[in-house]
Amino acid sequence: LNRRLDGLGTTIFAEMSALALRTGAINLGQGFPDTDGPESVREAAVRALRDGHGNQYPPGMGVPELRTAVTDHQKRFYGLDFDPDTEVLVTAGATEAIAAAMLALLEPGDEVIAFEPFYDSYAACVAMAGAVRVPLTLRAPDFRPDLDRLRSLLTPRTRLLLLNSPHNPTGTVLTRDELTAIAELAVERDLLVVTDEVYEHLAFDGEHVPLVSLPGMRERTVSISSAGKTFSFTGWKVGWVTGSPELVAAVRTTKQFLTYVASGPFQYAVAEALALPDTYYEDIREDLRTKRDLLAAGLADAGFTVYAPQGTYFITTDVAPFGEKDALAFCRALPERAGVVAVPNSVFYDHPDAGRTQVRFAFCKKQEVLAEAADRLRKAFA
């Protein structure tokens, strides 16, 4: 393994899901729902397969039906206009979009500012591009970005801001004021911004504002989303990038040599998913809000310090009240102790001391599963 990837051996999600399989514990670690997305969308995938839509290489930019569905979605929810022919690129999930964007936009030695704790692929992709990550730490209990600190991190080598809102794992939803300040800085310093918006429809408190909608951002923002979270199809790996023709062409160049294309028949199905009525989007958000409240109450009862998330389907907690010193060791022992799997946030920090005892629980699970997990944790800890 080359030295760029030092320390990035196995993702924590794979380790913790394997632990769940081995022990039979309830898996609140890796973020995937235990209920599949809408039946009509699954049927659309079956139809596409059966009718021969997408069984051979789809177009490099993605099938036209999906690119148009993405632009319709951006218009319907945010009033944004994109050209489906030149400003949308379909990818193998948001994961490939992030990798392709980093490889396309960064020179070796460029600095990338991202909020820590970060989603694990950010560190890996910045490293693979030979660039340098510069973390802006979100600190408990609020996990708001310190914008003065952000300004102080800028150097002549700063090339790109990698933003994620709603934020995994803390659940922070950036406010319009925070985004405006970030946008002003990006314009002033002529920075590119890549926004990971995979949880765009899972904002319970506050509203998701796409950074690209703010003044000066249209020409410098690459926006990324995917079908995994919004439609509960994490296995389909259908994601997309929107941005100016120049930026999308740049990302397409690297994407071509990563997968070229992916998920042919599923692209047609996701086109139908994006066109679901507003009530679909409201229902999934409200369902997850209820689940958030259920698990948050259970964790608090068991004695965890709970940082209620404004968005995503994760709750960050602190296990220091139990006298614990290390979230990774805590999570490795948790299945034996309580029959539950969680993820240590400490591995998402470059400065692990900032999150040494933070543990994340996913609540995209059936209510009875969350209730059972809360019960087990209460018995083990309260």
Which residues in this chain contact ligand GLN in the complex, by CB under 6 A? 11, 13, 30-31, 168
Is 27 or 158 the residue whose CB approaches ligand GLN more closely?
Answer: 27
Kindly tell me which residue out of 27, 74, 165, 234 binds ligand PMP, with binding defined by CB under 6 A.
234
Does residue 239 interact with ligand PMP by CB under 6 A? Answer: yes
Contacts 24+ apart (CB under 8 A), 251-256: 251/89, 251/97, 251/100, 251/101, 251/104, 251/105, 251/222, 252/60, 252/61, 252/89, 252/100, 253/104, 254/99, 254/100, 254/101, 254/103, 254/104, 255/89, 255/91, 255/96, 255/97, 255/100, 255/104, 256/60
**Closest CB 168 distance from ligand GLN, rounded Å:** 5
CA 180 to chain CA centroid, Å, is: 21
Cα within 13 Å of Cα(359), Cβ side: 29
The listed partner (ligand GLN, ligand PMP, none) that binds 164, CB under 5 to 8 Å by sort, is: ligand PMP
Q: Which of residues 198-217 bind ligand PMP (CB under 6 A)?
A: 198
Q: Which of residues 4-33 bind ligand PMP (CB under 6 A)?
A: 31
Instruction: Give me the residue label for tokens 């079908």.
Output: 227
Is 242 or 312 the residue whose CB approaches ligand GLN more closely?
Answer: 312
**Closest CB 228 distance from ligand PMP, rounded Å:** 4
Is 175 or 259 the residue whose CB approaches ligand PMP more closely?
Answer: 259
Q: Which of residues 125-184 bind ligand PMP (CB under 6 A)?
A: 164, 168
Non-local (6+) Cβ contacts of 173 within 8 A are 165, 166, 167, 203, 205, 206, 207, 208, 310, 311
The listed partner (ligand PMP, ligand GLN, none) that binds 30, CB under 5 to 8 Å by sort, is: ligand GLN
Does residue 197 interact with ligand PMP by CB under 6 A? Answer: no
Q: Cα(346)–Cα(151) distance, rounded to whole angstroms?
A: 25
Q: Where does this chain bind ligand PMP (CB under 6 A)?
A: 31, 93-95, 119, 164, 168, 196, 198, 226, 228, 234, 239
